[in-house]
């Protein structure tokens, strides 16, 4: 093993935990912390391999780690400020013409299926789905048992589902 590699290996063993804690306090993300610790050692090895005379390798490594962590935070803040500026909301949020047409067709189909339902089934379904009435409340309003009200509501859902599927709408 070369002198540079053995120095880096010894430093890695002795300094990894300390650098990880330092970087973690800055970036507050474990995965990013580990990446930046490794990047710090790679940069140090590059400097050592280039023959740069570094007298205090631990201090130099600490400075590399701090700089990488601060740069990461800066990039993260810039990204957040772009989001906060609303730059990503420039796209038109309105649905496309195709979506509007498909929704209108689905609504017309739904209204046709509802109109074709037996009156009690439609009433029970509408009370449940639109009026948010409980099955007990539906039963009282229609003068039927709660179980019968449940069957009517389920029939309404099935009829609507089947009608929409028959029209090719899912």
Residue 105 has pLDDT above 60, yes or no: yes
Residue 12: predicted pLDDT: 84
Q: How far apart are the first and last CA of the chain?
A: 66
- Number of domains within the chain: 2
Report how far residue 141's alpha carbon sits from residue 128's, in angstroms, rounded to the nearest whole number: 12
Residue 92: predicted pLDDT: 66
119 with 72, same domain: the answer is: no
Domain membership of residue 15 as a residue range: 3-89
Residue 155 has pLDDT above 60, yes or no: yes
115 with 162, same domain: the answer is: yes
Among residues 89, 111, 144, the one where a domain terminates is: 89
Report how far residue 63's alpha carbon sits from residue 107's, in angstroms, rounded to the nearest whole number: 64
75 with 129, same domain: the answer is: no
108 with 160, same domain: the answer is: yes
Among residues 89, 107, 142, the one where a domain terminates is: 89
Residue 81: predicted pLDDT: 65
Task: State the average pLDDT over residues 11-31.
Answer: 90
């Amino acid at each position: 093993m070369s002198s540079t590699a053995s120095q880096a290996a010894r430093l890695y063993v002795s300094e990894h935990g300390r650098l990880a804690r330092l970087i973690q306090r800055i970036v507050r993300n474990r995965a990013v912390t580990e990446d930046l610790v490794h990047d710090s050692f790679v940069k140090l090895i590059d400097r050592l391999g280039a023959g740069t005379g570094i007298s205090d390798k631990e201090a130099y490594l600490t400075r590399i780690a701090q700089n990488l962590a601060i740069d990461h935070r800066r990039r993260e803040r810039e990204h957040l400020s772009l989001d906060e500026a609303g730059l990503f909301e420039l796209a038109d949020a309105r649905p496309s013409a195709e979506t509007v047409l498909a929704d209108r067709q689905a609504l017309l189909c739904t209204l046709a299926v509802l109109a074709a339902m037996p009156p009690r089934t439609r009433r029970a379904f509408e009370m449940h789905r639109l009026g948010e009435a409980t099955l007990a409340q539906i039963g009282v309003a229609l003068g039927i048992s709660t179980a019968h009200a449940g069957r009517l509501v389920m029939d309404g859902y099935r009829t609507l589902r089947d009608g929409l599927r028959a029209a090719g709408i899912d």
